[in-house]
Amino acid sequence: MNATAVEKKRLYNKIRWAIMPFACLLFFFNGTDRANVSFAALTMNHDLGISALAFGTITSAFFISYLIFQIPSNMILKKVGASKIIPIIACAWGLITACTFFAKTGPQVAMIRFLLGVAEAGFFPGMMYWFTLYFPSRERAIVTSIFFAVATVGGLVMSPVAGYIIQYTHWAGHAGWRWLFVIEGVIPAIFALFGFIIMKDSPNECKWLTDREKEIVNADLEDERALQASQTSTTKVGFVKIITNGMLWKIAMIYMFAQIAAQTSGMWMPVLLKGFASGLSPTAIGYIMMIPTICSFFALLIVGKHSDKTGERKWHAILPLLLFSVSFMLILLPVGGITFKCIMLALTGIGGASWTGPYWTMPAAFLAPGTMAVSMAFINSCSAAGGYIGNMFSGIVAQSMGNTGVFIFMATVILVSVVLIMTLDFKKMKKFEQHIKD
């Protein structure tokens, strides 16, 4: 299918505007439902007698089930279709989140978080797979960056809202942290139902695309799949193929070690901030947590767009990760008070978010097309393992070494991802993307 560069640019802009708003709103709610326990902990831990070590167990419970159910969930998604499974997933996680209202003990909170992990397991890798059905590799860095950027808006909006709800909402005599889970659970459960109407499993099902536009997209995607198949020896999806694919393991480990830091930071940062300034109210902490989310929003879009424009992936991933690591170490310096801590938080937001757009172009370039759905699930399973390791280990470190140990731990694991990225063959990746572009 012959199409000009201008025609393709307009077409993929049209697709982005058509499918990204709903996808991004779902991810917005996904982020708030996953992270609200970090704000609830400001008062929930005291109310339920939850220690630092126990809180580490609670946050880890989510990642245990999230890890276990990743691949099964996405195998079902690929067979049944994203348009049917993803709305069910989103509705389920909202209702489970709301059930935290009824928790009376730490173990009950942990059990609900475990069930939340079961519900959420297929969402993120499912969305990454869904994007591959509409966008060739050359378009996915900016698509992924937009997806992540809108999730940061969730943090921007909900951080102060969560702080306010916890501090001032005590309806019917119940603590604010309980109402936080209800409010942030019921809304996405209702919104998710629109997915049955909005989501489609291929461009061919989209009435808002013309026949020519469908042909252009299908031709681009077919060319990419053919090139992937010619460059890889594995085209058959299967568990044995996955666990013996060294390239998949390398790509997954890159994501896992960075996610150890990112997810630990997301769950622990409100508590760690209170350790720096015990006088901060939940509302004040909510406003401070807006800083990294604002910075990450713009960094995601700028870095993702620049990476797509230049076709360069390696340093667009490495440099943000190095900034991410260094900022955790600098935050420990005994200078500048809370103002300096806020500046370092801004750097963590920039570094921790902006590398993800370039990263998510890598699986399609190095892995066989027939394994993409399960490969995405496997990568996110390793991310879940990272969340479990990070939160559990942070609870142990915080118990024995305090906040300082947690920051050093996060800074160190990021460097493992940097080293692994350096070992990838980016010349091969550039040739792949250039061929698709041409």
Cα 152 from chain centroid (whole Å): 10
Confidence at 200, pLDDT banded by 50, 70, 90: very high
If pLDDT is split at 50, 70 and 90, which confidence band does 392 have? Answer: confident
The per-residue pLDDT for range 130-140, each reduced to its tens digit, is 898 898 877 87
Q: Does domain 5-437 have CATH number 1.20.1250.20?
A: yes
Confidence of residue 234 (pLDDT cuts 50, 70, 90): very low
pLDDT, average across residues 275-283: 72
Percent of the chain predicted with pLDDT > 70: 91
Reported confidence tier of residue 181, pLDDT bands at 50, 70, 90: very high
Q: How many CB atoms are closer than 10 A to CB 346?
A: 18
Q: φ, ψ for residue 283 (rounded to 5)? A: -65, -45
pLDDT band at 436 (very low <50, low <70, confident <90, very high): low
What integer pLDDT is reported at residue 230 of this predicted model?
Answer: 64
Query: Which region among 144-158, 184-198, 311-325 has the lowest average model confidence (pLDDT)?
Result: 144-158
Q: Where are the domains of the chain?
A: 5-437
Look at residues 426, 8, 16 and name the one whose alpha carbon lies nearest to residue 208. 16
If one compares 285 and 133, the residue with the highest pLDDT of the two is 133
Higher pLDDT, 233 or 415: 415
Asked whether residue 231 carries a pLDDT value surpassing 60, the answer given is: no
Its pTM surpasses 0.85:
no
Answer whether 414's CB lies under 8 Å from 325's CB: yes
Task: Say yes or no to pLDDT of 109 above 90.
Answer: yes
- Residue 243 confidence (pLDDT): 66
363, 372 Cβ separation under 8 angstroms: yes
* pLDDT score of 414: 94
Is pLDDT at 434 greater than 80 in this prediction?
no
Cα–Cα distance measured from residue 393 to residue 381, given in angstroms and rounded to the nearest whole number: 18
74-88, 209-223, 267-281 — which one is most confidently predicted on average? Answer: 209-223
Distance CA 155, CA 145 (A): 15
> Residue 188: is its pLDDT beyond 80?
yes
Helical axes 5-48 vs 211-231, angle rounded to 10° = 70
**What is the average pLDDT value for the chain, to the nearest integer?**
83
235 pLDDT tier (thresholds 50, 70, 90): very low
Tell which wins on pLDDT, 355 or 71.
355
Residue in 29, 405, 354 with CA at minimum distance from that of residue 194: 29
Instruction: Confirm if 377 and 125 have CB atoms less than 8 A apart.
Output: yes
Contact 382, 253 (CB under 8 A): yes
pLDDT in tens, 9-38: 899 999 999 999 899 889 888 878 777 887
Which pLDDT band holds residue 438 (cuts at 50, 70, 90)?
low
Longest dimension (CA), the chain: 66
pLDDT bin (cut points 50, 70, 90) of residue 238 is low
Residue 91: the pLDDT is: 93
Helix axes 372-401, 403-422, angle to 10 degrees: 150
pLDDT of residue 391: 77
Helix, strand, coil share (%) of the chain residues, nearest 5: 85, 0, 15
Nearest to 318 by CA among 419, 412, 387: 419
**Residue that is written with structure tokens 């998604």 in the block:** 77
Per-residue pLDDT at 417: 95
pLDDT tens digit sequence for 326-344:
988 888 777 767 888 888 8
